Chains A and B, each alone.
Chain A
Amino acid sequence: MKGVYWAWGAVLGDLAVFMGPLPHATSDAAFVQLWLLHAGSCAILATSSLVLMPSKNRATLHWTWLLLFCFAAIAPVLGSLCILLISYTTLRQALDVHNHAKPQTVALPEFEARSQQTSRAGQGAIRSRLTAQVPSNVRMQSLLTLQAVPSRVANPILESLLGDETDDVRLIAFGMLDAEEKKLSVHIHQEQKNLKPHCPVGRGTTACAIGGTAPGADLRRTGPRWIENAQPEPGLEIPGHGVGHGRAACLRHLFSERPHPACARRNTAGP
């Protein structure tokens, strides 16, 4: 806002020059003094007005300044006054906009159901759409379809894709299996936590369960099927967890030092 004071000062100075004795003097020196003072006032006014201008008008800095200066110089006092009034009004409008602006409410566009997606595939077609002869983009889409398929169906397909020649397919298959394993690990952790207060976990059994049916085997391959296939014996009760919680209850028993006979039998037999 200091620019405004400078501008007003320049206008008043210009007015003082033309209202003073200099315009009435007849000497050359007075003439030169008059126009120098006028030019000075105009320069101050142009510079201070320039600061007040919106950024887009300041992109052509020199030309804008020259225009303001000429306008102020051609019409002494009146020109300066006009420039200042215009700048001041514009600035005030801008400030008013800032102070009183209200966020606009905008309407959301409507969504039209489209029929752009033409192909649909049942689960039976997934395997055929994953063969090496199929274009890679179709294979990738088919891989994603497996996310909507139960893990007992999807996992064997994904495992077979780990040896695929295409890097992308291999990596996505691995990623999906890894995500599955993470979920399972979280589940096992949770069950371990629930179990610990009541039933100390046998390390050997835990290692065996995590590694699959044999130490070192891949949990991804055996874990889900193992847990899904394991059924609790009727009346099986885990302290604090009630009766017959299905797979979870059986899983808890898998971690116990002495597994329940039913679980132990299935464990030995495999999934």
Chain B
Amino acid sequence: MRSRSPCSWASHRRRCCPTWPSWHLNSVLLPLCTPTCKIWPSCRWRHAPRPLLIFGQDATAFCASVTAASSSTSRPALPTADSVDVLLLLEGTFPYVAGGVSSWVNQIIRGFPELRFGAIFIGSRPQDYGDMRYALPDNLVHLEVTYLYDDLGGSDIRPTKVKADKTVMAEVKDLHDLLHANMAHPDCGRLFASLMDQAHPCGALSRETFLHSEAAWKQIKDGYRRYSTDPSFVDYFWTIRIMHAPFWRLRAVAERCPQARIYHSISTGYAGILGVLLKHRNQRPFILSEHGIYVKERKIDLYQAQWIKDNRTVFEHDPSQVSYYRQLWIRFFEHLGYLTYQASDHIVALYEANRQRQLIDGAPSERTSNIPNGVDVERFGALRSQRSEGVPPVLCLIGRVVPIKDIKTFVRAMRIVVDRMPHAEAWIAGPEDEDPSYAAECHDLVERLELQASVKFLGFQKLTDILPKVGLVVLSSISEALPLVILEGYAAGVPTVSTDVGSCRQLVYGLPGADEAIGASGRIVRIADPEALAQASLELLSDPVVWKQTSDAGIARVEKYYAQHMLFDRYRALYEQGFAWQA
């Protein structure tokens, strides 16, 4: 059993026992966010980040959320354990969100029945997630759910003054200066870890100190004067507070986590930072497996985000310059990524282009490697016998109905396909609840293109039920990593038409050498090009000989390079290395 400091005991008892005296916790001054505050009425900040970018949370709600004493909300009836072999750190994925990454997590847990897994699910707010999308495997013995932006209710905190430790505040300033000047400085990681050590409720850098001390206020003012190129101090103030608030949550999670022999994060970002904290506290190996590149995806979100304000006047505004707050958020996620890469013992990418990207973002080359996805070839291979003669004129897009899958391009392509092949059908097999407005737009487009008879939204489906009935697996995504659905389609004997994203080209045409010699197992087209997507699909569907060749190539490729046991073997070696390191 881990030893606890008196302070951690106190916080533990407060969590477990509502009657634990708490008047001392409530003695916090709220000079900056009470309703009579001079800042509050004019605050223009309307949005806070969410995966974790939350949209629509105002400053008052945020203020209430960050000052709430409780640190997280957990759903009932989740398995708990004191110790696990591998603790998975998951941000916005398994088991509450369906998708490729979640399927991979599920696959990994079930692939190692001899290991006891734990998982920490990090989400934005409870209302952003529905019920579990996966049945929990038997060897998942611990699951904790934590939300970074819940507790939006009122707070009974009473005001009093908080005094900050000068040394700690100086370290905070040093860390920010270093991150600003040179993120690669070796002291960045050390300073971050040492500050997080002080971030417990009774520590010198408690959340109250950050939120309510005069020193923190002065430091924010100083930062604004030195760095901000945006005139709005109010936006600067709230941006800094919102940006830093999750660290205290994550630290609390790190404190109560079960003991683990290995920490395994599936992304950088907040999950990665939790891994950094856990590794620092407990000195256990930390593995990072990235499917997409988190920093890249956040950057793309942020470059397009409409909620980020630009308050420059017409005389200060230069459209060729990214607004200050946009830059600030981007740098923030770059810092999280960099700190995670530096703390990781093994950094795994799905394919070479992603590994190169990790290197650019600061991953040490010697710790990186590629482990591609793998599928259960036997299970999906059995479906080949269920296929009927000929090529079914069914194009199936397997994936969530979300903008990144660019369903609209698929629908537009179907207009052309149906004109040439009237009996062709398009199936869209995936949940629609993640982005209902986008799903409505897709339905609308189907109606306007008069494709109601040809395009079917099937919702979530078992792949084993639909793959024997489809002629092509189509992927119109604008971003992918190494899509499992293509591999699963291959194993079931279904070739693919995919956009040129992620490793799709490698999956269709093979890597140079023996893989390439197998031949094309489908077609690759440019993104957002319905004409090309339709032509490629028609080429395969209308010519049974070409279809058979691509189908055979897909089967050969998946059996030789993407079988599930290869994935498990590689991860088994990593885990064993981690266990041995500890021994």
Contacts and interface: CB of A to CB of B under 8 A. Distances in A.
A92 to B, nearest CB: 13
A264 interface: no
B435 interface: no
A104 interface: yes
A2 to B, nearest CB: 10
A103 B159 contact: yes
B304 A172 contact: yes
Contacts of B54: none
A175 B10 CA distance: 49
Nearest to B527: A162
A174 B299 CA distance: 14
A109 B224 contact: yes
B19 to A, nearest CB: 12
B229 interface: yes
A103 B300 contact: no
A106 B441 contact: no
Interface in B390-432: 403, 406, 412-413, 415-416, 419
Interface string A97-125: 11001111110110111101101110000
Q: How large, as a class, is the contact surface on chain A?
A: 35 or more
Contact of B296 (A58, A147, A168, A215): A168
A122 B486 CA distance: 44
Contact of B31 (A61, A104, A121, A176): A104
Interface of A is mostly: helix
B27 A106 contact: no
Contacts of A94: 27, 160
Contacts of B501: 167
A167 B296 contact: yes
Interface in A147-181: 147-149, 162-163, 167-168, 170-172, 174-179
Contact of A145 (B320, B449, B450): B320
Given A54-B24, A216-B534, A174 B478 contact: yes
B409 to A, nearest CB: 8
Interface in B22-39: 24-25, 27, 29-32, 34, 36-39
B230 to A, nearest CB: 8
Main secondary structure of the interface of B (DSSP, over half): loop
Nearest to A55: B24
B5 to A, nearest CB: 8
Contacts of A211: 412, 415, 448-449
Q: Which of A142, A143, A215 has the most CB of B within 10 A?
A: A215
A216 B160 contact: no
Contacts of A238: none
A85 interface: no
A168 B299 contact: yes
Contacts of B10: 55, 58
B318 A117 contact: yes
B224 A210 contact: no
A175 B449 contact: no
Nearest to B296: A168
A210 B202 contact: no
A117 B415 CA distance: 48
A123 B24 CA distance: 60
Of all A-B residue pairs in the complex, the 5 with the closest CB atoms, nearest first, are A216-B415, A148-B319, A55-B24, A216-B416, A104-B31
Interface of A: 51, 54-56, 58-61, 94, 97-98, 101-106, 108-109, 111-114, 116-117, 119-121, 140-145, 147-149, 162-163, 167-168, 170-172, 174-179, 182, 185, 203-204, 206-207, 210-211, 215-218, 220
13 contacts: A55-B24, A55-B27, A58-B10, A59-B7, A60-B6, A97-B159, A104-B29, A114-B229, A162-B527, A168-B296, A170-B478, A210-B449, A216-B415
Given A140-B303, A215-B415, A218-B528, 12 more contacts: A58-B24, A59-B6, A98-B158, A103-B36, A106-B32, A112-B225, A141-B320, A141-B321, A162-B526, A168-B296, A174-B528, A217-B530
